[in-house]
Each structure stands twice: as structure tokens, then as C-alpha cells.
Amino acid sequence: MLSTIILVVAVFLILRFLYNRRFNYWKRQGIPERPSYFEAYNLNKHSVMTWDSKNYEALKDHKFGGMWEMLYPVLYLRDLDLIKQIFIKDFHHFVNRRTFPTNNEKDHTKLMLSFRETDDWKELRNILTPGFSTVKMRRLFTLFDSCAKRYMDYLHSKCDSPIEFRNAMGKYTMACIAESVFGIDCHAFGEHQTEFFKMGKAYMDFSPWRVFKLMFVSNYPKVADFFGLNVFHQDADTYLTKVVEDVLRSRKGVKGNHNDFLEIMRENSEEQEHGQKVLSEHEIVAQCMNFFAAGSDSIETVLIWATYELAKNPDMQQRLYKEVNEGMTKNGGELTFDTMTDMEYLDMFVSECLRKYPPTMRAERRCLKDYPVPGTKYVVPKGLFVHIPIYPIHHDPMYWPEPEKFDPERFTKENKSARNQYSYLPFGYGPRTCIAGRYSIVETKICLAHLVQNFVISTCEKTEPKPIYFHLSLKPVNGTWLSLKPRKR
């Protein structure tokens, strides 16, 4: 009997010790915290947006604080100067992000730019960056313009009744990514869903379970291995891999005239002369998957909300139409790269969409070597996760008066220069900023320009006044229903 009591007490004390050691982490460091141990396990109730916004509010009076992801402590940054420091000046302490270090041979994430580490990342980034130069953007412009024109034809054929734009925008962004990255026409605007479209959607399904898996695999890779958990949809991954391999095979040894990323990477894999690192086929496939995952959903989100705001704000829509129409009329009814770049209101409008609805709601870094936080006694230990809360900063009234109001005037030259530039972070900042910021802006603007040039967009009975967001992205759960009326030519 006595020995049982001793055993129970001993187990209790050990558990208590372990609990205190883990959960008093921030207290021991003297850092304010929001104890959010279980929110990552409860993502069907909380979106990343609500989770991050609660942390931001709770740590209101602090430059930074502690929070938790799946029982692991995470440093949560609020102060813009510190964010700047970590993104740029002290970047060498924060080069890496989260990784998914499983032993799964087929897993592409290890090879993706987004999850590569340190020198390996730098080398790959140098290889891929020229693919996003202005010259390449001009070439991609033609490709996106052609997708947008086919998209307008599709919308003309459907506009007798209200259109659901989460679905419709998905067709445009899928067409753009299929052609610009994979080098294929995925027939997105046909009556029947093609295999590419179906598999692409499956690959991008960020349900609460998928988000949970993502965090779980990165925090507990060994357990994930044991249970055979993967980050992405396995069938979709296999299908998309085969698409890339087939295109690469069909182009082998052929000098083509392709404007897509696959071609840029293929050219690199055949240029071995200058001792430069060459991409293997496996690495090329991984980058295609990375661009697909990072690029299609995010642009779709911006475009859904941009269309929604155009419908809600007819005066803004009219101003945008006027600007686009004047620009296109000067060019015989065509949109050109230069006229589009000169459209100031279009730029302001898109910037405000990215401010109010940032598709990537937080940036992340993992501390590479101990980092003494300037002006404090706190040292960020090597290995700790750091979160930069993009959504809450974009909605902080300190930087953005009436943050819930949609107002492109925030992005006039004068207003921009009067504001701390680090209060606007849709693409992150510094050497590890989004590699495709300009690509995204070009694809978004082309679509909006054609949309206002072709249609008057308005709300309808089915338009939800307060849409609910998905868990990982800001997409509306129930879609966005709007009416389109063709403009008279």
C-alpha cells in the first residue's frame, strides 16, 4: 500500500516538474506571454487570423512576448523596429524558417526554396531570382494577359446569373500557374474539371486537419515518420510530379520558345559550364510544387477580395474603370505592361487589398544562433521559432486608422511616405522576402484591369455581408457571390 502511494506521489511530482519546466519557460525568461498551448490543436474553431490577433491584443503593451505552438514556445514580435532588425540587419541570425525533416524519400518539401536552409537556401535563391526579373515579367505579362482574356470569355458566358467568385477566380489563377510554372494549358475554363484542376485543388486543400499536420510534422518529425504523415496530399503530389517530368522529357534537347519557369530551370540544368550549381530533376519538380503551393492560393485570395470590394464600392470601381479604359484606349484597346505599370489607382487599390486581406497572415523565422535582443537582457536561443504577425499589424489602428475600412487612399505617395514602411508586410521583407512579389502584382493587376474593362460588378442577394474566413488563408468559407453586367462597347 505504502509503495503504491509513494509511486503515485513520485509520478505526480515528476509530471509536475516536467509541466513546470516546460510551461514556466516564458516566466523564467521574464518575458510576458499569452498561454495559447492548445490553439494549434483547435484550428477548426480558430483561424490563424483570430489566433494571431488574440496574441497581438494580449501582448499590447510589449515589443515582443511569448506564445505557444503545440507545446513549443514561440517568440511573438510586435515592435516594427525589432521586426526590421530581424528581417534585415540581423538576418544572419534568422535565415531559416520551419522545416519538415521527415525521412519520407518522396517528400518534396526538403528541396523547396521556402524550406531550404542557410547556404543551401542562398545558392538556390540566387539560381531562381533571375526568373523573376523585369525582363521575365514582361514575357509573363503576355501569358497572363492571354489567360485573363480567356477568363473574361468564360465570365461573359456565365454572367446571366450571379457568379461565385471563389470558384471562378480559382480558374484564372490555376490557368496562370499551370502555364507560367508547369508550361501547360490546364483547360481551366472548360465545362468539365480537368485532372490537373482537381489534383491542383486537392494539393492546395488547407483544411484544419492539413494545417494541424503541417505543424505536427514540423514540431514532431520522428512521430510523424512513425505514423507516415505527409504535409501535402500524396496523390496530388504524385500526379503533379508526373506532369513536370513529362514536360521535361518532351523538351529534352529541344530549343523551344517557352516563357515559363520550367524552361528557366531546365536551361539552368543544362548549363554546366561555369562551375555553377545545377538543378537536378528532383529539385526542379520541388520548385514547381513550391511555386504552385505558394502562388495559386495567395493570388486567388487577393483577387476574390478585390472583386468583392469593387462590388461594394461603386465609386472606386468607376475610378478604376476610367483609369484602365483611358490606358487601354491609348493602346488600341490592348493592355500593355507599361500602361498597366503607370496606372496609379490600380496600384493603390491592389495595395489596399493586400493590406486588408494579406493572404500570408504571418511570416516565420527560426533562430539560427543565439540573438541578444537589442536594448534588453533577453537572448533568443538558437532554434526558437519567431512569428511576425502580418495580419494584426495590417489591422493595427496605430498604423492604419479605421483599419476595417477599405480605403485605397492610404496608398497615395504622401500617405505612404508618412508611414513606417514596416507596417505593410504582405510579402515579408529582407533577403527572404517573397521571391514572386512582382509576379503576383502583375497577375493580379491584369485580371482586375480586364474585369473592370469588361463588366460592372455589383453585390447581389447572395452576397454575404460578413464572410467567415478559412483556417489558414483569408478565403471566404461560403464563397463570394456577385453579379456581373457586361459593359457596352
Q: Residue 424, interface with ligand HEM (CB under 6 A)?
A: no
DSSP string of 187-216, one letter each residue: -TTSSS--HHHHHHHHHT---HHHHHHHHH
Task: Using alpha carbons, select from 143, 109, 232, 18 the residue that is nearest to residue 439.
Answer: 143
If the CB atoms of residues 111 and 328 are measured against ligand HEM, the closer one turns out to be: 111
Helix, strand, coil shares of the chain, percent, nearest 5, are 55, 10, 35
**239-242: which pairs have CB atoms within 8 A and are 24 or more residues apart?**
239/195, 239/196, 239/199, 240/182, 240/199, 240/200, 240/203, 240/288, 240/289, 240/292, 241/108, 241/285, 241/289
**What is the rounded distance in angstroms from the CA atom of residue 286 to the CA atom of residue 107?**
9
Q: Which stretch binds ligand HEM (CB under 6 A): 60-68, 150-158, 294-302, 319-327?
A: 294-302
169-to-193, 214, 308, 357, 450 alpha-carbon distances in Å? 14, 26, 12, 16, 13
Q: Residue 355, interface with ligand HEM (CB under 6 A)?
A: no
Q: Exactly one of 53, 230, 290, 480 binds ligand HEM (CB under 6 A); which one?
A: 290
Which bin fits 253, alpha (ψ -120 to 50), beta or left (φ > 0)?
A: left
Q: Exactly one of 65, 200, 408, 428 binds ligand HEM (CB under 6 A); which one?
A: 428
Q: How many residues bind ligand HEM (CB under 6 A)?
A: 24
Q: Residue 433, interface with ligand HEM (CB under 6 A)?
A: yes
Q: Exactly one of 104, 218, 241, 298 binds ligand HEM (CB under 6 A); which one?
A: 298
Q: Segment 39-68, which members bind ligand HEM (CB under 6 A)?
A: none
**What is the rounded distance in angstroms from the CA atom of residue 238 to the CA atom of residue 240?**
6
* Contact present, 327 and 443 (Cβ < 8 Å): no
**Which three cell numbers mark 124?**
538556390
- 434 assigned binding-site residue: yes
Q: Residue 434, interface with ligand HEM (CB under 6 A)?
A: yes
What lies within 8 Å, CB to CB, of 459 at 6+ separation is: 311, 312, 482, 483
**Mask: binding to ligand HEM, 75-114, rule CB under 6 A, as x and -?**
--------------------------------------xx
Residue 96's SS3 state is strand
Q: Residue 360, interface with ligand HEM (CB under 6 A)?
A: yes
Q: How far is the CB of 299 from ligand HEM (least distance, A)?
A: 5
Q: Which stretch binds ligand HEM (CB under 6 A): 50-58, 67-75, 413-421, 430-438?
A: 430-438
If the CB atoms of residues 85 and 298 are measured against ligand HEM, the closer one turns out to be: 298
Q: Segment 113-142, which members bind ligand HEM (CB under 6 A)?
A: 113-114, 125
Q: Residue 427, interface with ligand HEM (CB under 6 A)?
A: yes
Q: Residue 472, interface with ligand HEM (CB under 6 A)?
A: no
What residues form the annotated binding site?
Answer: 434
Contacting positions for ligand HEM (CB under 6 A): 113-114, 125, 290-291, 294-295, 298-299, 302, 359-360, 363, 426-429, 432-436, 439-440
